[in-house]
Amino acid sequence: MHLVKTKHTQLTTPEAIICILLYRKWSSRIVQSAAEQKQQIIMSHLEPEAKIFACSQSVYLAEKIAEQYGIPLGKVTMSTYSDGEFQPSYEESIRGLRVFIVCSTFPTADNLMELLLMIDAAKRASARHITAVMPYFGWARQDRKDKPRVPIGAKLVANLLDAAGATRVMTMDLHADQIQGFFEKPVDHLFASTIFLPYVESLGLENLTIASPDMGGSKRAYAYSKFLESDVVICYKQRKAANVIDTMELIGEVKGRNVVLVDDMIDTGGTLAKAADLMIEKGALSVRAICTHAILSGGAYEKIENSKLSELIVTDSIPLKRHSDKIRVVSCAPLFAEVMHMVHHNNSISGKFIM
């Protein structure tokens, strides 16, 4: 009893009280620190770090996207064998991270193959989320069997992306909206109208008319005309073969109007050049064209420069092969960067769809 009393007496000394207070304060800090660490672990599990990488032919766009996003572009090296075989390699850890791989799959098929290899490499490197960012989705024109004994290329590409390990796909202005249904994974289908419409409004054109160069693009043209509160006309064309137009007729009135043609892509430029010439013949004051994806193959540049088009507005989803005074490029990098940021933080992206 005497020993206990002595201890009790010692606990009442000023030095002992100070020690107790310091111990309690130190203990509370340990508990708080442990709680903060637990919270950080939970947050890192719910919201992993994001990194952006690019295939070799899309670095020009990925650099702009990364700059807009606010992070540096990730490091990837490409080893190429003498026979042309190549192998990508991530030069930094991506374990447990959200990985965005930027790659427009325009021909050649090397771009698609490189994307598939990078997705597979990310999967095997234990990335938690792998998003294939495809500003231009190649092979989208093969969305159905339009004649016997032909493939459905868009569905094949969807299967390949899924097999490689992509957990999400982000693209812009698909040639056919229903291609989204080929995927079992989430697809963020962005519209270039988000960046094109402000530009058209900035032109301040009077007597504006929106036009579709073919029947397939009529839905897109009507959407633009509804937003801009303008008239709409449609070109009806018949082809002899792929990229070869036989006849073209105009449905609607363009006399005394400033016309803006709207399409998802421009390949050889034959359709737009012929449509512009036809509309000027019918009395249009001016003809411009908006095309999301500037494929511009064959003699497209010559056709555009020799046509009645005042201006061709495109995005940088595909790099231009050469300069043209008639072609104006509006970057899609800010749109993709903002949507990627929203996806990473699990925010709604519906506000980015103007139409």
| Gap between the Cα atoms of 158 and 183, Å rounded | 6
| Gap between the Cα atoms of 111 and 151, Å rounded | 20
Is residue 287 classed as helix, strand or coil in its secondary structure? strand
75-84: long-range contacts (C-beta < 8 A, 24 or more apart)? 76/118, 78/114
Query: CA dist 288 to 24, 39, 241, 308, 341, Å?
Result: 75, 55, 26, 9, 33
Annotation marks residue 237 as catalytic: yes
Torsion of CA 58, 62, 63, 66, to 10 degrees: -170
Give yes or no for a contact between 171 and 292, defined as CB atoms under 8 angstroms apart.
no
CB atoms within 10 A of CB 138: 24
| Gap between the Cα atoms of 119 and 123, Å rounded | 6
Give yes or no for a contact between 157 and 143, defined as CB atoms under 8 angstroms apart.
no
Dihedral sign for Cα 322, 326, 327, 330, please. Answer: positive
Would residue 92 be called left, alpha or beta, if left means φ above 0 and alpha means ψ between -120 and 50 degrees?
beta
CB atoms within 10 A of CB 96: 14
Would residue 293 be called left, alpha or beta, if left means φ above 0 and alpha means ψ between -120 and 50 degrees?
beta
| Gap between the Cα atoms of 134 and 332, Å rounded | 12
Q: Annotated catalytic residue: which of 51, 237, 274, 303? A: 237
| Gap between the Cα atoms of 260 and 231, Å rounded | 11
Give yes or no for a contact between 196 and 202, defined as CB atoms under 8 angstroms apart.
no
- Detail the DSSP E strand segments found in the chain: 50-54, 76-80, 86-90, 98-102, 129-134, 168-172, 187-190, 208-212, 231-241, 244-251, 258-266, 286-294, 311-315, 327-330
| Catalytic residue ranges | 237
